[in-house]
Amino acid sequence: MSDLALHIPTDVVNGPTSLAFALLAAVAVGLCVVMARRHLDERLVPLAGLATAFIFAAQMLNFPVAAGVSGHLLGGALAAALLGPWLGALCVTVVIVIQALLFADGAVTALGLNVVNMAVIASFTGYAVIVLALKVLPRTRWGLGAAVFAAALVSVVAASAGFVLQFWLGGEEVGQSFGAMAAAILGTHVLVGIGEGVITAGAVTAVAAARPDLVHALRGSRLAETAKESV
Amino acid sequence: MSPVDGLYRPGDTPVHRLRPQVKIVALAAFTCAIAATPREAVWAFGVYAALLIGLFALARVPLTWLLSRSLIESPFLVLALAFPFMVDGPAVQIGFLQVSEPGLWAGWNLLAKATLGVWAALLLSATTPIAGVLAGLSRLRCPEILLQITAFAIRYAHLTVAEVTQMRLARLARCDDPRFLWQASALARSLGVVFIRSFERGERVWQAMAARGYTGRLPLEVGPAPASALQWSAALAAPALAAGIATWTVFA
């Protein structure tokens, strides 16, 4: 079901909250441009463009979850693991804006909400989890895989928690059922996150085996296994 | 047509001929008017829907296309259907179901506004090519760096999407047909390969640009065309009407 969208449509979250998050998103994206340019200089435009094209293609790839049910990647943790949080968040932001303007997916008035959830929250929590997990786990194929799996799972749940927070701030008054609704949303996204985690971990370890220098989360160091093989 | 081309439907109608920047502003204004209208003013949403359907007819977009594309918001329609059972408040009886009245209004609100918002956005996507949308955003003073990244992304997304499709076919040809998540490792690895290829291509593109004297700015002297006052007034007529109705319903 590639035509389904989970981008927030018109007026699910009220005007003042949407505006506040739009400002937050604008500041965050501006900061991402500054930080990404610091690392890439004039290479920013072609490299970020190609990386965004990759995230775009990755989102089109449907993977099976269980018999008959398939999902597609959100890509926040994938972008953060490979490109770093700043460039990763920037690329996912561009994808969200393209989807809103060219595919009518997510309202124009909710752009700030969607960018904060799926680009900013997902990339930065994902990257933080990888960095923390790699301090504990061994720097092997399995260690990196486990760290990226956890990062993708946490990033998807954190992004949906961002929506729950926005809904709590400026959504419909649902009273006592709010807890049940939040639990349903977060629970569903734990399942989505497991799928995201498996695919993201597979993709990142494949890149780490071939070109460890392209995995931003490894910060230039190689995996233990590949280092032995190359000697 | 590649999926990267968006939902653009080529044509030569008054809606197609409007400059993209006025259409983007009109879309934002119309969406704000929809969002600001109180949920009890059911007739106002009827007027908005009639307006949009009229514009779709003017742009020669078939209604069946509109309806099939509206399904994009169906996950949120599930939320709309859940509201009558979740929201607290005085209950009303519908058939054998007991549902809360504020919940019904909340569900209606979400259903009407999400659908109208998607319709308004579809009108822009269906009548404006990608290059037009970028030119319009540039006229609206959107930061140039973001637009350049977006332009590169769209240009090369054709390639990466084709690569992903090609790899999928190659896997299918070798009888890889995963049904469960734990069987999808080949799929994940091919994603890794596409990333390496994309990144290496990015570096090659940058080197080619550097060889031609690129220093971080695209030497574009030709800006997108400005829109005339007539264009602005024509495009903003519908949002202005919607804003008028929204203001009327808020104060009435």
Which residues, at least 6 apart from B69, have a Cβ–Cβ distance to it below 8 Å? A104, B7, B118, B122
A197-231: pLDDT as tens digits: 998 999 999 999 888 888 888 876 777 655 444 44
Higher pLDDT: B64 or A40? It is: B64
B43-56: pLDDT as tens digits: 999 999 999 999 99
Q: Supply the DSSP string of A104-163, one letter for each residue.
A: --S-GGGHHHHIIIIIIIHHHHHHHHHHHHHHHS-SSHHHHHHHHHHHHHHHHHHHHHHH
Q: What average pLDDT does range B68-74 have in this prediction?
A: 78
Instruction: Give the pLDDT of residue A59.
Output: 82
Give A-chain residues touching B205 at CB under 8 angstroms.
46, 50
Same domain, B12 and B109: yes
Same domain, B122 and B243: yes
A43-60: pLDDT as tens digits: 888 888 898 999 888 887
The verdict on B61 touching A (C-beta cutoff 8 Å) is no
Q: What average pLDDT does range A75-104 have in this prediction?
A: 88
Can you name the CATH fold of A15-226?
A: Arp2/3 complex 21 kDa subunit ARPC3 (1.10.1760)
- Mutation pick from A45, A176, A218 vs chain B, by most beta carbons of B within 10 Å, is A45
The partner residues of B92 in beta bridges, in order of sequence, read: B99
B125-136: pLDDT as tens digits: 899 988 888 888
Listed residue (A125, A148, A212, A152) closest to B199, CA to CA: A212
The maximal CA–CA distance of chain B, rounded, in angstroms, is 74
The partner residues of B97 in beta bridges, in order of sequence, read: B94
B163-203: pLDDT as tens digits: 988 888 898 898 887 777 777 788 888 889 999 999 899 88
pLDDT band for position A3 (cuts 50, 70, 90): very low
The whole-angstrom separation of Cα A51 and Cα A56 is 9
Same domain, B17 and B119: yes
Domain boundaries, position B189: 143-211
The pair of three-digit structure tokens given for residue B239, joined into one six-digit string: 């949002």
The residue of chain A nearest to residue B145, with distances taken between CA atoms, is A45
Chain B, 119 to 148: residues with Cβ < 8 Å from chain A are: 121-122, 124-125, 130, 133, 143, 145-146, 148
Instruction: Give the pLDDT of residue B134.
Output: 87
Per the listing, tokens 């931003």 go with: A216
B87 within a domain of the structure (yes/no): yes
Whether the per-residue pLDDT at A138 is higher than 90: the answer is: no
Instruction: Give the pLDDT of residue A225.
Output: 57
B216 within a domain of the structure (yes/no): no
B3 within a domain of the structure (yes/no): no
Instruction: Give the pLDDT of residue A109.
Output: 83
Listed residue (A31, A34, A42) closest to A119, CA to CA: A31
B222 within a domain of the structure (yes/no): no
Instruction: Give the pLDDT of residue B36.
Output: 87
Number of folded domains in chain B? Answer: 2
Instruction: Give the pLDDT of residue A67.
Output: 54
Instruction: Give the pLDDT of residue B39.
Output: 87
B2 within a domain of the structure (yes/no): no
The lowest-confidence range among A40-44, A84-88, A119-123, A200-204 is: A40-44
Instruction: Give the pLDDT of residue B54.
Output: 93
Instruction: Give the pLDDT of residue A146.
Output: 94
- Mutation pick from B27, B181, B203 vs chain A, by most beta carbons of A within 10 Å, is B181
The partner residues of A185 in beta bridges, in order of sequence, read: none
pLDDT band for position A1 (cuts 50, 70, 90): very low
B217 within a domain of the structure (yes/no): no
The verdict on B104 touching A (C-beta cutoff 8 Å) is no
Per the listing, tokens 């990608």 go with: B130
Domain boundaries, chain A: 15-226
The rounded percent of chain B whose pLDDT value lies above 90 is: 16
Instruction: Give the pLDDT of residue A220.
Output: 66
Whether the per-residue pLDDT at A125 is higher than 90: the answer is: yes
Same domain, B44 and B151: no
Whether the per-residue pLDDT at A112 is higher than 70: the answer is: yes
3-state SS assignment for residue A231: coil
Same domain, B66 and B164: no
Average model confidence (pLDDT) across chain A? 83
Same domain, B21 and B126: yes
3-state SS assignment for residue B137: helix
Chain A, 100 to 119: residues with Cβ < 8 Å from chain B are: 100-105, 107-109
By CB atoms closer than 10 A (0-12, 13-18, 19+), residue B196 is middle
Q: Supply the DSSP string of B37-67, one letter for each residue.
A: S-TT-HHHHHHHHHHHHHHHHHTT--HHHHH
